[in-house]
Structure formats: structure tokens, C-alpha cells
């Protein structure tokens, strides 16, 4: 006791930092402002500002003769957006996004389900890394890998021939629309790469949703006489649905905005992203590029609104 | 959920999960094989022979080195900026409920939620409108914008776990705001910041879409790759670069994984 | 003499919630002062007002004669033992204890010595190198205590410090805290919802309810002369005699409290008051047994020493108690 009492009287923090600390303590709003100021200046002013300025150009139009933007509000650009050729692009992109999303769900579900319900300890970590590594691996390298795989002289052709199934691959490539000269210049190729690149974005939310389903629910369902198929259909699937919806937000949105994958693996027909790229670049039609950009934003806004109604956010 | 006598996974499920994982990993593994192929003109499989020659050739390529250096510089600076801004944002959001808190969260996520092409073009047209020429800093600006969210997410999760009474205890014991930050908050969120920083670095190092619009004539490693993808010039060099990119991004991701996992187990042990 | 802590009509409102509502308090130097009340009664908010984590919405607080409003927690010579201990998980036990000295710029050797001595004082010598996660709940509690005391606070605030401990450890710590407080001569302000703890440890107790102080007094005063029905009920258990019965007994208008252990079985003698009724139930509790009786519509509970034969339910009983055991209360 005596030893503790023998300490010198505490000296209090003084000086500039002490006074500044007092000031911030007395005015928590000031502290909040100082914390939020820099990030808000960056994101709210620089980023949102650029976004707003760019998108607002869609209400202007290019003058056909000079090629310059006429700064008068007009719906001409939007009329151009809904021309047949451009509508084709929008429909093509939307169909691809839908098919990619569906396929991702089918491939992702077993992985997520096994990881959430059966994998334990080291296996669980392995599964987690097994999804995280491809997720974070270089996007371009992943596309490049598929260029190697789908090339006419690549591993897929080789594998089909080894299995004496070369005729099957040829028959597939001979199909209209989804076929082509080789897989790497067909919609089938584009589709495969999209599914591959976005798959982790589907697995993770489904797994997160399934992790929250208590095992006792599955046991209770079995106890009440449901066979595994019924349990899956009536218990697991509804509970995993928010995860599926959340995952589909990623796969859908990412497919809508991508312009590199269809450019490298696919036919020469454009997707929205490529159209935006072409309009702002070679065509120099910034208003039309902006109008094209509005399409995925509107679609995703509707999608998010619907997802919210379904409770996909409450679950995450 | 953790009953010991769980049913074993049905074979079909195991198979589907296993094939799914294989689907995720085989393409990346293939990159490693192709880095050593002797084939120069096509993507022939199986490779007619294996060689280390292209490693040496790539080593001597000045354009690859220049692109790699630029990418590392950009990623470092973008990560540093994202660390500061992301942490500030996370601190503000977690320390108090204020009006517009949801808006801030949304704003942080927006650059990564919107397709990269939108962010890219928006920044590009802003630069051209403000007469800012393309430079190292325009690339960094773009990257930092979408890296903030990675740091923010990691930091927010850790702030949430940081018990409010620790901060009060520190002040109670005589530490002012700055001392509390230095001695209590920073050590407790440190590993999550490191993890967030690692992921931000990997994200920036790999980014191509926004970079396309903010780089001008400069070439980061992903831009270099993209050009090779569109118009292949020397395929074997591209193969080697692809392998290097995989390795360079792999390390920070693994590090981030073990950093956050470690933190979790420590926190769990403390309970 | 200046009060260690003085509250003058202090209120703290959170929106429409009046967590603390017009509290007046004066805590003397060297006193072991308990704030007792159910959860949400405002006692913890009062503690936080003293520590500086909260600011009063209105009213005035003084700590040793100095105005406390607007003074940050780190400039108050007051330390807190937190309910969850709030030990820094990243620091060793020694660094935890030395933290307050470190931020005040005390030299390394000196703060190490002081921290080790503080640990010895709470019977944890040699634990300095461990991390908080490696300690049991009781040990962490002691570290939290050492960490606060090493700063030689003029007031030590304890927020339900024993709440997380099991019964046996709790009783031991009550003892130790009391001894420590007497040896150090410090002012302790102790928040608890456990009336037994408050009565056994404190020099004075303030009973909180709905953000207001209902009664302040020594444990004995609070127990013997509860000023209101709430206090009578919350501190120990009490029979509340109806106004009709009070009038019949010549006590005057109002209700009266009567502690069960003041009642004995058998007819009244001398100055004692007798009530007859019918036994409703009897339960065996060990050292004392409880008899519930219905005396003309009033339910009376008596605590009878072991060895007194308990009447069978339904049997006619006579209960008696001393007139001085009756205490007339202010509210109805």
C-alpha cells in the first residue's frame, strides 16, 4: 500500500495534443467531421461528382456534322439508345447475364452446401481458401487461362479427341448462335469464362446463408418424416434463397458491366460494356456512352430494390 | 449444427463440390504449365516440350520490368491512401450513429458495386474536363477510389469487435484521445488494417478496367497483359508474366487470410 | 468539509428517456458509497457522470469542490473498475496495470515497480507477464482493480465489479474490497443491483429507481426505516400493511412495512402487537423457515428461526411483533 501511495502525483497530459484532444472531446461533431471530411471529399466530391457529370451528359447529344457535344437537353441520345442495333446489344447482354447467373447458382450451390454443412476444421479452411484464392487471383490471368483452354489447339479439343468425342465438340460448334469457329470465339466460350470468373461471388453469399441454418432444423425436418429431397426443397432452399439472391446481384451486375471478357473470348458482336467503350473511345460519342451506362445502373437499381423486398439484405 | 453424429455427405454432393473446386483451380494451374512450354506460336496442348528459357527472356525484357515497377508503385501509393481514408471512414461509422451513416457506407461500396467501366469513364471525363493530363497520379486516384472499400470493410468488422469500454478504460486511466488511438485502438485494429492493406494491394496490382481509362499511354502490368491478350506478340513471355502475376497476388492474399484468422482465434481465446 | 462527489439536481436525458432525473447526492471523502437499484434505474449513468463518460443534461457536479462538467475523463482524478473489466487484450497484465502511469509519462522503471506492487496488493504477484485471456474471471477482476488503484485515484468507481463472479468468489471479494477500502482510506462508489452486497459493504447506500434517488442512508436506516414501498420491497423483503390495518393498529394514515424476521409465532405479550390468522403455507429454507399466513385478508410472511415448529396449512396461528418493528412509509 505504502509503495503505491509513494508515487508522485500524476502529471496530466498537456501541450498542444492535450489541448486538441480536449477540444475534440468537447465537440464530438468536430471530430466526426474531421474523420469523415477526407473520405467524403474524395468519394463524395471527386468520385460522385465525376459520376454525375458523366451520366448527365446522356441528356445531351452529338452534333452530327461537327462531332461536338451540343449542350442542350434533348432526348435524342436516348432515342438513339433504343434503336434496333442498340436494343440488340442490351438484350444480348441481359440474356447472357441471366444465363450466367443461373449456371453460377447450379455450380456454386454444391460447393457452398458442402463447405457450410459438412466441411470441418482444416477442410473448412481449405474450402474457404479454395474459393478465396480464385476470387482474388488476377482477373486478366484467369481470362488468359481460358484463352489457352478454349483455343482450337488447346486442352479442351485435346481432351475431346482423346475421349473420341471430337465429333461432339464439332456438332456443338456447328450449332447456330452458341457455336462458332472455335470455343474461344463462340458465345459458349464467353459464357464459360463469365461463369468461371464470377463463380466465387456466388459461392460466398450462399455459403454464408447456409452457415446460418442450424443443423437442428435439418434434423427436425428429417424427424418429421421428410426425406432428404423434401428437406432440401422445403427447408434448405428457402433459407438459402437470400444468399442466392445476394450472389446473383454480383454475377448479374458484373456481367452487365464487363467489356473485357467478351472482347477476348467471344464473337465480334458487342455487349453493353463494349458498346460503352466503343462509344466513348473510337466513336467519340460521350452522350451515347453515358446513356448506355445508364442501362445497367437502372437494371441493377430495380434488381436491388426487388432483392431488398425479398429480404436479401436482412439476411446478410 | 455441430452434432457429432452428422450424416455423411451424399456421394453426389461430394462429387459436385469436388468438381466445382477443380473447375475453379485447374485453369490457374494450367498457367504454370504453359509458362514452361517450348511452343511459341500457338496454345498447343499438350506442350511439345518444357523449357526454362522463357523465364530468362522475360527477365531481360525492359517493358515487362517497367510495367511491373509502375504497377507496384501504383499499388503501394493507392493502398496507402486507401488505408488512411478507409480507416477514417470506418472509425467515423463505428464510433457514433449519425445522420447519413448508411449513405456513407453506400458511398464507400459504390465504386466497387458499379461496373468498373462506369467508374473509369466517369473519372476520365472528369480529368479531361478539368484539363488534368494522365499521369501516375491519375492511375493512383482511380485505384484508391475502389480500394477504400476493402480497407473499410476489414476495419469496420474489427471496430465492431473492439469493445467500447476499452476506449473508455483508456481515457479513464488518463490517456487523451491521441494516446488512446495510439496505445489501444491501433494495436487492436492493426492486423485488420494490414489484411485490408494486403487485399487492397492485390486489388490494385491486378486492376485493368479503371486503369484503361486513367493511364493514358502508361502501361501497368495488367495493361501490358491486356495488350498481349488482344494482339499477342510473344506468347511465351505472356505465359511467364501471367505466372508471375499469379504468384505476386497469391502472397498478399494468403497473408491477409492468416492475419485475420489469427486475430479471430486470439479474440475467441480471450472470451 | 468538501464532499468527494456532489450532485446538485443532476439530470441526464437520452432523447425522451430520463436516465437520471434530478439527483442530489453528497458522497463524503473516505466513504464506501453504494448505488443500489434495479437495472435501468440510473445508477450506472450516475457512475458514468462521475467518471466523465457522460455529461449532465442539466444540474451541477463537483468532484472535491471542482466543477466536473466539461472536464474529460482523462483529466479527472477518478478511476473506474469496469463491469466487463475492459482489460486491454493486446497488453500483458503488467502493461495493463502500468497503463495509467505510462500515459502520464512516468518512467519505465518506476511504473514497473508500482505495477508489480499493485499486483502484489491484489494477491497476483508474478502474473505480470501473462495476457488477460489467460486469467480467470476473478483474476481479471483483481487486475482491473490494481490497474485503477495504481493511479491513486481520489475516487474509485466500481461498476458491478462482482457481477460476473460465482457466489463463493463474490463473497471473498466483498470482504477483500471492504478491507482494501479501509486500508487505503479511499472514496469508493460502488454500483450494484444486489441489495445484500450493498448492505454488507457500504457505509451508506443510495437506492435508485426510475432515474431518481429514493432514499439515502446507512444500510441499517435503509433496512429498518424504508421510506417508500419501493425501498421496502427492493431492499430485503417486507410485509406491507394496508392503510386499514395501520389505522386499526393506531399507527396513523399510510402503509407500514414490517420485516418478516421481526415476527414471532405465539400470542403477544407486553407491548407487542398480536395478529391472528390462518396459515397458508410453510416452507423449509434451512436456517430460517418461512410461514405465510392470512390475517383478515392481509398476507403476512414471517421468517421463523429453525427449531420453531411450523403450523400445518389451514391451522389457526397467532403472530406477534414489537410495535417498534412497524415503520410507517411516506407513500401509499
Q: Are residues B65 and B47 in the same domain?
A: no
Distance from the Cα of residue A143 to its chain's centroid = 16
A-C CB pairs within 8 A amount to 46
The pLDDT value given to residue B5? 44
CB of A40 within 8 A of CB of B101? Answer: no
User: Min CA distance, B254 vs chain C (Å)?
Assistant: 23
Q: Is C295 in CB contact (< 8 Å) with chain B?
A: no
Q: Is C89 in CB contact (< 8 Å) with chain B?
A: yes
CB-nearest partner of C121 from A4, A9, A10:
A4
- Whether A158 is in a domain gets the answer yes
Whole-angstrom distance, CA of residue A286 vs CA of residue C305: 95
CB contact under 8 A, C78 and B172: yes
Q: Is the dihedral of CA B48, B51, B53, B56 positive or negative?
A: positive
CB contact under 8 A, B183 and C147: no
- Laid out side by side, the sheet with C66-67 consists of C17-27, C5-14, C58-63, C66-67
Burial annotation A124-142 (CB, 10 A radius, 16+ → b, else e): eeebbebbbbbbbbbbbbb
Q: Is C286 in CB contact (< 8 Å) with chain A?
A: no
Q: Are residues B46 and B171 in the same domain?
A: no
CB-nearest partner of C104 from A1, A10, A26:
A10
Nearest CA in chain B to C97: B173
Q: pLDDT digit of tens for each residue in chain C (332 aa)?
A: 788 899 999 999 988 888 998 899 999 999 999 999 998 899 999 999 999 999 999 999 999 988 888 889 998 889 999 988 899 988 999 999 999 999 888 889 999 999 999 998 888 888 888 999 888 888 898 999 999 999 989 999 999 888 777 888 888 888 888 988 898 889 999 999 988 888 888 999 999 999 999 999 999 988 888 888 888 888 888 888 888 888 777 777 788 888 888 888 888 887 788 888 888 888 888 888 888 988 888 888 888 888 777 888 888 888 888 888 888 887 65
The pLDDT value given to residue A9? 38
Q: Are residues B111 and B20 in the same domain?
A: no
Burial annotation B188-223 (CB, 10 A radius, 16+ → b, else e): bbebbbbbbbbbbbbbbbbbbbbbbbbbeebbbbbb
Q: How confident is the model at residue A107 (pLDDT cuts 50, 70, 90)?
A: very high
Instruction: Report A:78-107 residues touching B (Cβ under 8 A).
Output: 107
* Neighboring chains of C (3 or more beta-carbon pairs < 8 A): A, B
Q: Is the dihedral of CA A187, A190, A193, A199 positive or negative?
A: negative
The pLDDT value given to residue B268? 27
User: Min CA distance, B79 vs chain C (Å)?
Assistant: 25
The pLDDT value given to residue C47? 92
Could you report the per-residue pLDDT of B221-236, keeping only the tens digit for each? 999 988 888 888 888 8
CB-nearest partner of B253 from A133, A219, A259:
A133
Nearest CA in chain B to A24: B177
- Whether B111 is in a domain gets the answer yes
A209: nearest Cα among A70, A283, A126, A316: A316
Tell me the CA distances in angstroms from C277 to B15, B113, C293, C320, one per residue in order.
79, 77, 6, 11
Could you report the per-residue pLDDT of B176-199, keeping only the tens digit for each? 888 998 999 999 888 888 888 888
Rg (CA), chain B: 23
Whole-angstrom distance, CA of residue A274 vs CA of residue A254: 13
- Whether B7 is in a domain gets the answer no
B140: nearest Cα among B224, B80, B209, B66: B80
Q: Is A25 in CB contact (< 8 Å) with chain C?
A: yes
pLDDT at B168 over 50: yes
Q: Which residue is it, cell 454488507?
A: C200
- Whether B30 is in a domain gets the answer yes
Whole-angstrom distance, CA of residue C243 vs CA of residue C265: 23
CB-nearest partner of A11 from C105, C117, C183:
C105
Could you report the per-residue pLDDT of B117-159, keeping only the tens digit for each? 888 888 888 888 888 898 999 999 999 998 998 898 888 888 8
- Whether B249 is in a domain gets the answer yes
Which residue, B33, B51, B69, sits at the end of a domain?
Answer: B51
CB contact under 8 A, A22 and C72: yes
Q: Are residues B36 and B170 in the same domain?
A: no
Q: Is C247 in CB contact (< 8 Å) with chain B?
A: no
Residue numbers of the domain that contains B182: 61-270
Residue numbers of the domain that contains A177: 84-309
CB contact under 8 A, A215 and B2: yes
Q: Is A53 in CB contact (< 8 Å) with chain B?
A: yes
Q: Is A200 in CB contact (< 8 Å) with chain B?
A: yes
Q: Are residues B65 and B42 in the same domain?
A: no
- Give the angle subtended at the CA of C73 by the CAs of C69 and C75, to the nearest 5°: 85
User: Min CA distance, B196 vs chain C (Å)?
Assistant: 20
Report the CATH number that the domain containing residue A166 is assigned in CATH: 1.10.3720.10
User: Min CA distance, C187 vs chain B (Å)?
Assistant: 16
Higher pLDDT among residues B113 and C6, named by residue:
C6
User: Min CA distance, C24 vs chain B (Å)?
Assistant: 24
CB-nearest partner of B126 from A24, A53, A280:
A53
CATH number of C5-225: 3.40.50.300
- Whether A98 is in a domain gets the answer yes
The domain segmentation of chain C, as residue ranges, is 5-225, 237-328
Q: How confident is the model at residue A282 (pLDDT cuts 50, 70, 90)?
A: confident
Q: Is B55 in CB contact (< 8 Å) with chain A?
A: no
Q: Are residues B26 and B74 in the same domain?
A: no
- Whether B1 is in a domain gets the answer no
CB contact under 8 A, A47 and B122: yes
Q: Is B223 in CB contact (< 8 Å) with chain A?
A: no
Joined together, the cell numbers standing for residue C94 give: 503488467
The pLDDT value given to residue B261? 67
CB of B213 within 8 A of CB of B226? Answer: no
Rounded to 10 deg, the angle between the B11-34 and A139-150 helix axes is 90
Q: Are residues B116 and B45 in the same domain?
A: no
What's the domain count of chain B? Answer: 2
Tell me the CA distances in angstroms from C186 to C6, C52, C178, C257, C316, one per residue in order.
16, 19, 11, 35, 54
Report the CATH number that the domain containing residue B248 is assigned in CATH: 1.10.3720.10
CB of A211 within 8 A of CB of A283? Answer: no
Pairing of strands C32-36, C204-209: parallel
CB-nearest partner of B183 from C103, C148, C151:
C103
CB contact under 8 A, B229 and A10: no
Whole-angstrom distance, CA of residue A290 vs CA of residue A282: 15
Distance from the Cα of residue B187 to its chain's centroid = 23
Could you report the per-residue pLDDT of A150-169, keeping only the tens digit for each? 888 888 888 888 888 888 88
Q: Are residues B24 and B77 in the same domain?
A: no
What's the domain count of chain A? Answer: 1
- Whether B91 is in a domain gets the answer yes
CB of B108 within 8 A of CB of A43? Answer: yes
Whole-angstrom distance, CA of residue A121 vs CA of residue A119: 7
pLDDT at A300 over 90: no
Q: Are residues B91 and B158 in the same domain?
A: yes
Q: Is A8 in CB contact (< 8 Å) with chain C?
A: yes
CB contact under 8 A, B165 and C86: yes
* Neighboring chains of B (3 or more beta-carbon pairs < 8 A): A, C
Winning range, highest mean pLDDT, from A94-103, A213-222, C299-308: A94-103
* Neighboring chains of A (3 or more beta-carbon pairs < 8 A): B, C
| DSSP bridge partners of C205 | C34, C217
- Give the angle subtended at the CA of A142 by the CAs of A140 and A143, to the nearest 5°: 65
Query: In CATH, what class is C237-328?
Result: mainly beta
Region of A311 please: left (phi>0), alpha (psi -120 to 50) or beta. left
pLDDT at B69 over 60: yes
Q: Are residues B44 and B175 in the same domain?
A: no
CB contact under 8 A, C184 and A1: yes
- Give the angle subtended at the CA of C322 by the CAs of C317 and C326, to the nearest 5°: 100
Amino acid at each position: 500500500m505504502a509503495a503505491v501511495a509513494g508515487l508522485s502525483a500524476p502529471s496530466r497530459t498537456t501541450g498542444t495534443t492535450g489541448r486538441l484532444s480536449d477540444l475534440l472531446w468537447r465537440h464530438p461533431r468536430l471530430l466526426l467531421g474531421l474523420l469523415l471530411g477526407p473520405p467524403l471529399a474524395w468519394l463524395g466530391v471527386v468520385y460522385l461528382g465525376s459520376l454525375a457529370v458523366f451520366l448527365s451528359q446522356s441528356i445531351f447529344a452529338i452534333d452530327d456534322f461537327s462531332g461536338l457535344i451540343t449542350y442542350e437537353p434533348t432526348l435524342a441520345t436516348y432515342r438513339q439508345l433504343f434503336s434496333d442495333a442498340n436494343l440488340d446489344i442490351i438484350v444480348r447482354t441481359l440474356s447472357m447475364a441471366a444465363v450466367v447467373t443461373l449456371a453460377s447458382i447450379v455450380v456454386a450451390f454444391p460447393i457452398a452446401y458442402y463447405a457450410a454443412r459438412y466441411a470441418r476444421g482444416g477442410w473448412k479452411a481449405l474450402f474457404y481458401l479454395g474459393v478465396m484464392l480464385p476470387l482474388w487471383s488476377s482477373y486478366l490471368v484467369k481470362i488468359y487461362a481460358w484463352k489457352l483452354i478454349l483455343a482450337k489447339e488447346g486442352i479442351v479439343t485435346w481432351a475431346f479427341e482423346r475421349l473420341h468425342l471430337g465429333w461432339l465438340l464439332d456438332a456443338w460448334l456447328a450449332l447456330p448462335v452458341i457455336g462458332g469457329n472455335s470455343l474461344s470465339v463462340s458465345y459458349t466460350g464467353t459464357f464459360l469464362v463469365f461463369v468461371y470468373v464470377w463463380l466465387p461471388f456466388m459461392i460466398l453469399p450462399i455459403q454464408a446463408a447456409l452457415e446460418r441454418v442450424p443443423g437442428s432444423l435439418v434434423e427436425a425436418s428429417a424427424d418429421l418424416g421428410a426425406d432428404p429431397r423434401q428437406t432440401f426443397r422445403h427447408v434448405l432452399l428457402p433459407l438459402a434463397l437470400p444468399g442466392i439472391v445476394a450472389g446473383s446481384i454480383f454475377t448479374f451486375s458484373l456481367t452487365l458491366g464487363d467489356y473485357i471478357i467478351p472482347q477476348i473470348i467471344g464473337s465480334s458482336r458487342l455487349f453493353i460494356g463494349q458498346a460503352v467503350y466503343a462509344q466513348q473511345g473510337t466513336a467519340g460519342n460521350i452522350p451515347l456512352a453515358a446513356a448506355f451506362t445508364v442501362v445497367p445502373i437502372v437494371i441493377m437499381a430495380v434488381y436491388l430494390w426487388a432483392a431488398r423486398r425479398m429480404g436479401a439484405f436482412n439476411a446478410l | 449444427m455441430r452434432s457429432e453424429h452428422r450424416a455423411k455427405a451424399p456421394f453426389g454432393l461430394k462429387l459436385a463440390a469436388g468438381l466445382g473446386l477443380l473447375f475453379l483451380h485447374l485453369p490457374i494451374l494450367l498457367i504454370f504449365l504453359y509458362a514452361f512450354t517450348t511452343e511459341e506460336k500457338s496454345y498447343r496442348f499438350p506442350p511439345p516440350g518444357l523449357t526454362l528459357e522463357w523465364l530468362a527472356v522475360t527477365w531481360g525484357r525492359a517493358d515487362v520490368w517497367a510495367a511491373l515497377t509502375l504497377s507496384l508503385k501504383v499499388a503501394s501509393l493507392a493502398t496507402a491512401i486507401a488505408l488512411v481514408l478507409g480507416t477514417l471512414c470506418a472509425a467515423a461509422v463505428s464510433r457514433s450513429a449519425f445522420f447519413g451513416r448508411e449513405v456513407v457506407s453506400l458511398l464507400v461500396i459504390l465504386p466497387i458495386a458499379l461496373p468498373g467501366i462506369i467508374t473509369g469513364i466517369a473519372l476520365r471525363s472528369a480529368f479531361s474536363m478539368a484539363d488534368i493530363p494522365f499521369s501516375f497520379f491519375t492511375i493512383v486516384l482511380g485505384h484508391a477510389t475502389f480500394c477504400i472499400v476493402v480497407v473499410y470493410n476489414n476495419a469496420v468488422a474489427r471496430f465492431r469487435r473492439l469493445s467500447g469500454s476499452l476506449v473508455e478504460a483508456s481515457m479513464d486511466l488518463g490517456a487523451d484521445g491521441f494516446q488512446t488511438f495510439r496505445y489501444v485502438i491501433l494495436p487492436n485494429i492493426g492486423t485488420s488494417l494490414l489484411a485490408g492493406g494486403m487485399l487492397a494491394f492485390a486489388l490494385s496490382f491486378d486492376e485493368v478496367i479503371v486503369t484503361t481509362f486513367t493511364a493514358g499511354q502508361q502501361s501497368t502490368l495488367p495493361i501490358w497483359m491486356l495488350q498481349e491478350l488482344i494482339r499477342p506478340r510473344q506468347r511465351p513471355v505472356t505465359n511467364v508474366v501471367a505466372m508471375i502475376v499469379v504468384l505476386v497476388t497469391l502472397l498478399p492474399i494468403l497473408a491477409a487470410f492468416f492475419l485475420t484468422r489469427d486475430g479471430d482465434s486470439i479474440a475467441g481465446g480471450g472470451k | 468539509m468538501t464532499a468527494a462527489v456532489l450532485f446538485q439536481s443532476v439530470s441526464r436525458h437520452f432523447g425522451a428517456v430520463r436516465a437520471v432525473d434530478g439527483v442530489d447526492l453528497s458522497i463524503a471523502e473516505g466513504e464506501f458509497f453504494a448505488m443500489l437499484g434495479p437495472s435501468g434505474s440510473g445508477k450506472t449513468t450516475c457512475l458514468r457522470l462521475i467518471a466523465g463518460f457522460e455529461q449532465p443534461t442539466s444540474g451541477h457536479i463537483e468532484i472535491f469542490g471542482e466543477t466536473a462538467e466539461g472536464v474529460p475523463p482523462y483529466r479527472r482524478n477518478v478511476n473506474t473498475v469496469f463491469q466487463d473489466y475492459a482489460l486491454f487484450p493486446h497488453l500483458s497484465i503488467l502493461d495493463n496495470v502500468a497503463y495509467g502511469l505510462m500515459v502520464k509519462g512516468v518512467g519505465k522503471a518506476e511504473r514497473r515497480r508500482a505495477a508489480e506492487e499493485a499486483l502484489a496488493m491484489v494477491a497476483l504477484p508474478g502474473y505480470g507477464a501473462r495476457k488477460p485471456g489467460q486469467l480467470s474471471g476473478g483474476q481479471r477482476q483483481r487486475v482491473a482493480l490494481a490497474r485503477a488503484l495504481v493511479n491513486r485515484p481520489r475516487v474509485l468507481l466500481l461498476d458491478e465489479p462482482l457481477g460476473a463472479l460465482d457466489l463463493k468468489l463474490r463473497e471473498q471479494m466483498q470482504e477483500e474490497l471492504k478491507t482494501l477500502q479501509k486500508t487505503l482510506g479511499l472514496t469508493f462508489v460502488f454500483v450494484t443491483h444486489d441489495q445484500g452486497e450493498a448492505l454488507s459493504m457500504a457505509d451508506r447506500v443510495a437506492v435508485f429507481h426510475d432515474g431518481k434517488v429514493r432514499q439515502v442512508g446507512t444500510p441499517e436506516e435503509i433496512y429498518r426505516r424504508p421510506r417508500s414501498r419501493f425501498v421496502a420491497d427492493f431492499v430485503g423483503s417486507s410485509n406491507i400493511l394496508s392503510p386499514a390495518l395501520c389505522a386499526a393498529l393506531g399507527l396513523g394514515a399510510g402503509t407500514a412495512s414490517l420485516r418478516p424476521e421481526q415476527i414471532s409465532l405465539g400470542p403477544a405479550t407486553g407491548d407487542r402487537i398480536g395478529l391472528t390468522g390462518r396459515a397458508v403455507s410453510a416452507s423449509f429454507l434451512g436456517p430460517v423457515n418461512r410461514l405465510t399466513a392470512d390475517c383478515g385478508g392481509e398476507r403476512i410472511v414471517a421468517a421463523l428461526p429453525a427449531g420453531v415448529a411450523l403450523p400445518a396449512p389451514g391451522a389457526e396461528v397467532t403472530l406477534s411483533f414489537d410495535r417498534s418493528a412497524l415503520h410507517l412509509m411516506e407513500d401509499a
